[in-house]
């Protein structure tokens, strides 16, 4: 697969400062697809300097011009959507259909939404005798994960550019190829040199250098809570703004009057899609005790159907981690009703779609983020019990509620400590704010709320 052997800095592909490379592996067959340079602090420094130099010009560009560049970017991504899908399938392992429908389509929609918002957002407002300006926060350092590799870059780069910020992106080491494709698209779209920069590399080296760099004004990070905590500490010491999109352990609450079959089938599909590597996945299904056995049976059947269709997880390390969690679930007394801890194929990092019944709320598999195709089904006594279980983790990213009576579902959702809740399978909305309560993060992405993260206010009094 085609890969650049340099970094995209100041509008061109430039040689990396060091010699080290990262091998990109196809998780479906374990073959090395390509290599990309492993960036160092020197590459990060060059990229941040380019972003800082480009900042005054881009920040002063009229919003309509920024909107035009983002529209062009959306169009380039759209023209290259097949290439995006095949690239993500190769480096992440997602089935091609899923890559087309989600990994390619969602970032195009998000880029389009920011093209529109850049042109319509109120960057200036009147408050009594003041005029308040919403100004770009400055140079953004963006560190992204591999699970939705293009979406997570676009969810940071598009609002940053719309706001008038400049940006340096350090993508995940497992999925740098679609990040390089994105840099090509930014170039093709005519975004001025230095406004967008890409440095590939390892987290503890290039990622850390970016988070620590004094020329970065805002660190926007998506990834694990453990790394997020470190980044927040580094940014806090330098009094930099930080935005964190972290882990999740979302509850899917099936209230007793819900359409059980639909709730369970959609719930299983939600957990298994992208091989369970979705931070907002509803990995804990909560079912009333009277419907529990039926739900378990339906879930086991639904998971079995996924057997053939599911892609691998991203890496050998991730496979080992997920299988370890499944073993832990068995050891702690949960009952396996689908899948299990054996790798289903000899080649590739596959994990069988797995469902656990008789999961107690305090078990490890009900508390920690597994990030694989593993569903836990928990039994509740009444709504208060369901709420206690739903809110009983350190996370609060997303969730779902199912009920025949929508008002009842909404009343329950309002009491959940979580940033997003889908009611009766509500559709993904690229304009709705996405982000976590509690240890799932700080700040919001997407739509106008996501744009506001990249702005700071200045008030002038008259
Ligand atoms: P990770 O935290 O290991 O890595 C994420 C990014 O951080 C990568 O680019 C990595 O290179 C970098 N990184 C690693 N160590 C670093 C360090 N010391 N300093 C700076 N950067 C460093 O996470 P992952 O395994 O790549 O992704 C999976 C995790 O991401 C899961 O926990 C998942 O829930 C979370 N996630 C959250 C969201 C969300 O929006 N809330 C979205 C996707 C993934």
Q: What is the CATH number of the domain that holds 387?
A: 3.40.309.10
- 326 and 184 part of one domain: no
Task: Say what the pLDDT of residue 1 is.
Answer: 87
Task: Say what the pLDDT of residue 410 is.
Answer: 98
- 201 and 304 part of one domain: no
Please give the C-alpha separations between residue 1 and each of 24, 106, 193, in angstroms, as whole numbers: 10, 23, 26
Cα 223 to ligand 1 centroid, rounded to whole Å? 2
- 169 and 21 part of one domain: yes
CA atoms within 13 A on the CB side of 318: 24
- We report the CATH number of the domain holding residue 77 as 3.40.605.10
The preferred substitution site among 200, 211, 224 for testing ligand 1, maximizing ligand atoms within 8 Å of CB, is 224
Q: Are strands 441-442 and 399-402 parallel, antiparallel or unpaired?
A: unpaired
Within a domain: residue 232? yes
* CA 412 – CA 363 distance, rounded (Å): 24
Confidence class of residue 11 from pLDDT cuts 50, 70 and 90? very high
Extract the tokens encoding 3. Answer: 């890969």
Nearest CA, atom 39, ligand 1: 245
Catalytic residue, chosen from 91, 212, 245, 369, is 245
Nearest CA, atom 34, ligand 1: 247
Within a domain: residue 434? no
Cα 229 to ligand 1 centroid, rounded to whole Å? 11
Within a domain: residue 1? no
Work out how many domains the chain is built from and give that number: 2
- Using DSSP's 3-state secondary structure scheme, residue 184 falls into helix
Cα 133 to ligand 1 centroid, rounded to whole Å? 33
Extract the tokens encoding 40. Answer: 């160092």
pLDDT tens for residues 189-218?
A: 999 999 999 999 999 999 999 999 999 999
- 259 and 238 part of one domain: no
- 414 and 454 part of one domain: no
- 66 and 88 part of one domain: yes
Quick check: 438 and 396 in contact, CB under 8 A?
yes
Within a domain: residue 196? yes
What's the rounded mean pLDDT across residues 380-396? 98
The preferred substitution site among 41, 176, 203 for testing ligand 1, maximizing ligand atoms within 8 Å of CB, is 203
- 160 and 34 part of one domain: yes
- 222 and 306 part of one domain: no
pLDDT tens for residues 303-357?
A: 999 877 899 999 999 999 999 999 999 999 999 999 999 999 999 999 999 999 9
Cα 74 to ligand 1 centroid, rounded to whole Å? 25
* CA 44 – CA 41 distance, rounded (Å): 5
Of the candidates 175, 273, 279, 277, the one whose C-alpha atom is nearest the C-alpha of residue 225 is: 279
Say which DSSP state 100 is in. Answer: I
Q: Is 245 a catalytic residue?
A: yes
Within a domain: residue 261? yes
> What residues have CB less than 8 Å from 120, skipping those under 6 apart?
none
Report whether pLDDT(224) > 90.
yes
Catalytic residue, chosen from 165, 173, 212, 279, is 279
Q: With pLDDT > 90 as the criterion, what percentage of the chain qualifies?
A: 97
The DSSP-derived string for 435-450 is --SGGGEES-BSHHHH
Say which DSSP state 434 is in. Answer: B
* CA 337 – CA 329 distance, rounded (Å): 12
* CA 41 – CA 326 distance, rounded (Å): 38
Residues with a CB atom less than 6 Å from ligand 1: 143-147, 170, 172-173, 203-204, 207-208, 211, 222-224, 227, 230-231, 245-248, 279, 369, 371, 397, 436, 441
- 309 and 193 part of one domain: no
Of the candidates 149, 407, 91, 449, the one whose C-alpha atom is nearest the C-alpha of residue 278 is: 149
The preferred substitution site among 41, 141, 145 for testing ligand 1, maximizing ligand atoms within 8 Å of CB, is 145
- 280 and 381 part of one domain: yes
Cα 286 to ligand 1 centroid, rounded to whole Å? 28
pTM (whole model) above 0.75: yes
414 by Cβ neighbours in 10 Å (0-12 / 13-18 / 19+) ranks as: exposed
- 206 and 97 part of one domain: yes
* CA 75 – CA 218 distance, rounded (Å): 28
Task: Say what the pLDDT of residue 359 is.
Answer: 98
Q: What range does the domain containing 371 cover?
A: 251-429
| Ligand 1 atom with minimal separation from the 210 CA | 20
- 264 and 211 part of one domain: no
Nearest CA, atom 32, ligand 1: 224
């Amino acid at each position: 697969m085609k890969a650049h052997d340099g970094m995209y800095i100041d509008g061109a592909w430039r040689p990396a400062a060091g010699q080290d490379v990262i091998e990109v592996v196809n998780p479906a067959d374990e073959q090395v697809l390509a290599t990309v340079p492993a960036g160092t602090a020197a590459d990060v420094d060059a990229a941040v300097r380019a972003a800082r130099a480009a900042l005054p010009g881009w920040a002063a560009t009229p919003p309509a011009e920024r909107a035009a560049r983002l529209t062009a970017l959306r169009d380039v991504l759209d023209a290259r959507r097949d290439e995006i899908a095949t690239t993500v399938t190769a480096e992440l392992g997602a089935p091609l259909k899923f890559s087309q429908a989600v990994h390619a389509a969602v970032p195009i929609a998000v880029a389009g939404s920011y093209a529109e918002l850049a042109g319509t957002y109120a960057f200036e407002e009147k408050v009594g005798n003041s005029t308040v300006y919403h100004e770009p926060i400055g140079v953004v350092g963006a560190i992204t994960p591999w699970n939705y590799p293009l979406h997570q870059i676009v969810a940071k780069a598009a609002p940053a550019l719309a706001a008038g910020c400049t940006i340096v992106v350090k993508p995940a080491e497992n999925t740098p190829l679609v990040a390089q494709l994105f840099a090509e698209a930014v170039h093709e779209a005519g975004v001025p040199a230095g406004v967008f920069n890409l440095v590939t590399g390892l987290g503890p080296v290039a990622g850390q250098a970016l988070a620590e760099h004094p020329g970065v004004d805002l660190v926007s990070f998506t990834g694990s809570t453990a790394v997020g905590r470190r980044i927040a500490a580094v940014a806090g010491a330098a009094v930099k703004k930080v935005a964190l999109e972290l882990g999740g352990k979302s509850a899917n609450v099936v209230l007793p009057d819900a359409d059980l079959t639909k709730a369970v089938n959609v719930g299983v599909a939600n957990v298994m899609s992208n091989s369970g590597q979705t931070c907002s996945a509803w990995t804990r299904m909560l079912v009333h005790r009277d419907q529990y056995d039926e739900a378990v049976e339906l879930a086991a059947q639904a998971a079995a159907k996924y057997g053939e269709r599911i892609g691998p997880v991203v890496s050998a390390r991730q496979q080992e981690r997920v299988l370890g969690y499944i073993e832990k679930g068995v050891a702690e007394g949960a009952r396996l009703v689908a899948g299990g801890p054996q790798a289903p194929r000899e080649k590739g990092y596959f994990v069988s779609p797995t469902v656990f019944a008789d999961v107690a709320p305090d078990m490890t598999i009900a508390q920690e983020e597994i990030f694989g195709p593993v569903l836990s089904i928990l039994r509740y006594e009444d709504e208060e019990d369901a709420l206690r279980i739903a809110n009983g983790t350190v996370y609060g990213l997303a969730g779902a509620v199912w009920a025949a009576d929508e008002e009842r579902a909404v009343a329950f959702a309002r009491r959940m400590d979580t940033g997003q809740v889908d009611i009766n399978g509500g559709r993904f909305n690229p304009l709705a704010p996405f982000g976590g309560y509690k240890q799932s993060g700080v700040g919001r992405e997407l739509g106008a709320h996501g744009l506001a993260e990249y702005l700071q206010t200045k008030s002038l009094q008259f």
